[in-house]
Chain A
Amino acid sequence: MTLELRGITKRFGSLIANDSIDFAVADGEIHAILGENGAGKSTLMNIVYGLLAPDEGTISVDGKVVLINSPIDALVAGIGMVHQHFMLIPVFTVAENIVLGHEKTKGPGFLDLVSARKEILRVSAEYNFDIDPDALIEDLPVGLQQRVEIIRALIYDAKVLILDEPTAVLTPQETDELLKNMKKLKDKGTSIVFITHKLREVKEAADKITIIRRGKVVGTALPSSSQEELASLMVGRPVSLDVDKKAPQVGSVTLDVKNLSISDRTGRTLVRNVSFELRAGEVLAVAGVQGNGQTELAEAIVGLQEHVSGSIFFDGKDISNKSVRAALHAGIAFVPESREEDGLIGSFSIEENLILDVHDMSPYAKGPVISQSVVAQEAQKKIAEFDIRTQSAKDPVSSLSGGNKQKVVLARELSRSVNLVVASQPTRGLDVGSIEFVHERIIAERDSGRAVLLFSTELDEVIALADRIAVMYRGEFIAIVPADTSRADLGLLMAGVKP
């Protein structure tokens, strides 16, 4: 089956998310759509899947124009989609999830799961997917959950399968599995639209690549193009993918964490018995698949977690029972995982966000009074130093792009006198230019003698920045390895396989 988009345009207010996009998938082709966050990839696919209505343009299937107003229409037309965040109900079984919305009944209203189970087993066997229709979704690893989504699409006869950032939540091994399965699907005649911003995967799996930048198609490429070429097309200027860094000048122990365990309100253990030392002038990167306790560990160091046992020594002093404020002002910079939720106050101005942590200290406040003029002056300095692109320091921070938002967070956190930088997913959702900026800044902090604890789920980032790598799996540090450990070994560790 072929899918063809012609002149698709979608506007949100004054923003043009898709600007007359032409795009075609041939029969049995894996076609990658490559673009940065915010380039308009997801908007385009939501239009194809009937979740958004285009302002202009047509969608044709097998040469015939079709009107797609809902996901049901899309399914009928033979288009299936696996979303970045799975649309599965955790407490239901695989079979129940798959019949959801298409329940067949038998007799007076009895749910017919038998035929659904048969179908699942058939598709699972056909592609070697190894899925038990009676397993609960919540018991399955993420990679298998994704297969359930794919099976669902196949059972409803999808001839074109859209995969939206399918590797974002997978370990390297799961990613390899997925890429293999994509090829299997292709060999059996399913066309695949593969949305991603990861160059390596595109080169590995795609037959053809369409690159989108700022809502426009800026070119097509073949997988034989180099990563640099693809990145330049994606960003619109030459990009260097390597981070330049010298050998680390390691100093004394800055952070000493011993037997740290964290549990949540219900008593479930999130982080188990983590111990490590971090020295001045080095970057310790914590790698791992999302949701293995990294968020909690990062928060615990600055005192944001409640149920913590073990000890955290910073510059020789125990800070494990200190308030957040005490930890920050003892000399820790904290870049939280979620900029919008934890890092910034969207409705506050840039100026105000820059003083969140120091609003009641000299020189910003004299007694209980905040000095507006000092706040404005200091904001100008930081805006210049961190190259924050804005019309005015009085603009609400929510009006900034992701990269500029992150620069506001960095400007605030690095302006205190700091010996340790704890950065959680600092480049998540940023464009390539901003990623370069953040990476350079992190290395600059290291080179100026600060200790850096970096949490990242992006293996490329970990490898580029780390002096040592800790791998976190199910709340534990299963290994701390040198920075030159191979990608394959790191992948195994991330999947919980001890060497």
Chain B
Amino acid sequence: MKSKKLLLPSLSFLLALFVSGLLVAFTDAQVLALKNNPLSMISKAISTAGNAYWALFRGSIFDPQLAESRFWEGFYPLSETLVAASPLILTGLSVALAFRAGLFNIGAQGQFIAGAIGASWVGFTFELPVVLHAILAILAALLFAGIYGGFVGLLKARTGAHEVIVTIMLNYVAGYFLLWLLGTTAFLRLGRQDPLAPEVRESARLPHLFGPELRANFGFIIALVAAAVIWWLLNRSTWGFRYRAVGANASASRTAGISVARVTTSVMFIAGALAGLGGAVQVLGSEYAMTSGIGGSFGFDAITVALLGRATPVGTVFAALLFGALRAGGLTMQSSTETPLDLVLVIQALVVLFIAAPALVKAIFRLRNVDSSQTIASKGWNG
């Protein structure tokens, strides 16, 4: 049962790697130059793709060169993977939780920014004792982003406004609001004219996990704890029972006396807070200062991560680690081989494509009896 659940996402990922490998190999000028000699062309193609993926591995898990002087330094790339994965786990959980309640939260991006603003502002404005400062900054992020998400849920519950449209629009609002905010005196760094917020104080920063040289920080622990809490919420609590019930069949839930409006509002609040926590982890854990690009694509990648993780907390953690690794390794791949960083985007896109088309993957691997209804991506928004 467990292994079956992993089968489809894993195969989709392998298939994506394979197709991307073909792309890398057969767009390479050196490979194409050998087109009159098929055998050496194929071997060159294999080595080109192999090199790219080896660089991806060195950039994301373990680099033997770095390990030469001190062994543990070889794990520097893994630390980078954790740094990239932590906010993704949180935004991924945000999307996954909403999915389980039948809501499509496209707004993790905006909620992430709302959280980053909250954490950053508390982080650089106040002077507070060490642990307390970080906690307050995180609480501010949870509150800002929670309200930002909860507002969407409230709109849906009261007026029926579709959350997909509203969250997409609110992403723009958050992005441009941040841009405006960075131009105001409160958020302008002393002596700078470009949109760059002041650094958060030392007291608000999240501690490093493995010493000052590795960037891996407490944000990863926060993400894991959040995943555990969401797992408990969904599978053991009365709240989660209602969320899952409404997500699986809203009309039967209503008939059994469950308030769908309350579920919609509270789920969107929690989903927003999770994405905002991701923003806080990014600001307090690794960036320290907010720029207009703080959001990156954490909110959008979150959708892919949640799909790949099949909207379960555990699956989301693993999917986010995978995407974090791709993100960290992609940089090394770009610098040490000819392969552009965009390949990582291609791999991500292909993973989504294959997951959204389970029938295709099943046909390719001649699988039977794998329940494709478990893949959310092939369902409609209201399905």
Residues of chain A touching chain B, judged by Cβ–Cβ distance below 8 Å, are 302, 304, 323-325, 327-329, 334, 336, 341-348, 352, 356-357, 359-360, 365, 368-370, 372, 412
Q: Using Cβ atoms and an 8 Å threshold, which residues of chain A touch B244?
A: 348
Q: Is the CB of A323 within 8 A of B259?
A: yes
The yes or no answer to B255 lying at the interface (CB within 8 A) is yes
| Contacting residues, chain A, for B252 (C-beta < 8 A) | 341-345, 356
B237 touches A342 (CB 8 A): no
Known: A370-B236, A370-B237. Contact between A323 and B245, CB under 8 A? no
Once A324-B254, A357-B257 are accepted as A-B contacts, the answer to whether A348 and B237 lie under 8 Å apart by CB is: no
How far apart sit A357 and B238, CA to CA, in the bound complex (Å)? 11
A345 & B237 in contact (Cβ 8 Å cutoff) = no
Q: Which residues of A contact B251 (CB under 8 A)?
A: 341-342
Contact of A369 among B238, B242, B249 (CB under 8 A): B238
For A336, the closest partner residue in chain B by CB is B255
The complex places the Cα of A348 from the Cα of B243 at a distance, in Å, of 12
Please tell me which one of the listed residues A323, A327, A334, A370 contacts residue B238 in the complex, with CB atoms under 8 A apart: A370
Contacts of B239 in A (CB 8 A): 368
Q: Is the CB of B237 within 8 A of A324?
A: no
A323 touches B237 (CB 8 A): no
Q: Does A368 contact B259, Cβ atoms closer than 8 Å?
A: no
Q: B interface, by DSSP: helix, strand, loop or mixed?
A: helix
Residue of B nearest to A302 (CB): B255
- A336: chain B residues at CB < 8 Å are 255
Query: With A and B bound together, what is the CA distance between A440 and B252 in angstroms?
Result: 25
Give the interface size bracket for B toward A: 10 to 19
Can you sample 16 A-B contacts with CB below 8 Å?
A304-B254, A304-B255, A323-B257, A324-B256, A325-B258, A328-B256, A342-B255, A343-B255, A345-B245, A345-B248, A348-B244, A352-B241, A357-B256, A368-B237, A368-B238, A370-B241
Chain B residues proximal to chain A, CB less than 8 Å: 236-239, 241-242, 244-245, 248-249, 251-259
Q: Output the least CB separation between B100 and chain A (Å).
A: 11
Measured in the bound complex, the distance between the Cα atoms of B245 and A412 in whole Å is 15
Measured in the bound complex, the distance between the Cα atoms of B163 and A99 in whole Å is 43
Q: Please, which residue of chain B has its CB at the minimum distance from the CB of A326?
A: B257
Interface centre among B241, B242, B245 (most CB of A within 10 A): B241
New A-B pairs, 6, CB < 8 Å, besides A341-B249, A347-B248: A345-B245, A359-B238, A360-B241, A365-B238, A368-B238, A369-B238
Tell me the bound Cα distance from A348 to B252 in angstroms: 11
The answer to whether B241 and A324 touch across the interface, beta carbons within 8 angstroms, is: no
Which chain A residues lie closer than 8 Å to B254 at the CB level? 304, 324
> Closest 4 interchain pairs by CB?
A325-B257, A356-B256, A360-B238, A345-B249
Distance of A368 Cα from B259 Cα, bound (Å) = 16
B245 proximity list for chain A (CB < 8 A): 345, 348, 352, 356
Question: Which A residues are in CB contact (< 8 Å) with B236?
Answer: 369-370, 372
B241: chain A residues within 8 A (beta carbon) = 352, 359-360, 370
Please, how many angstroms separate the alpha-carbon atoms of A357 and B252 in the complex? Answer: 10
Set A324, A344, A365, A370: member contacting B257, Cβ < 8 A: A324
**Bound form: Cα–Cα A360–B253 in Å:** 13
- When distances are taken between beta carbons in the complex, the residues of chain B under 8 Å from A323 are 257, 259
How far, in Å, is B370 (CB) from chain A's closest CB? 14
* B-side contacts of A352, CB under 8 Å: 241, 245
Q: Which residue from B238, B248, B255 sits with its C-beta under 8 Å from A324?
A: B255
With A323-B259, A325-B259, A356-B258 given, is the CB distance from A345 to B253 under 8 Å? Answer: yes
Residues of B within 8 A of A369 (CB): 236-238
Q: Taking the nearest CB of chain A, how far is it from the CB of B99, in angstroms?
A: 13
Q: Which residue of B is nearest A347, CB measured?
A: B248
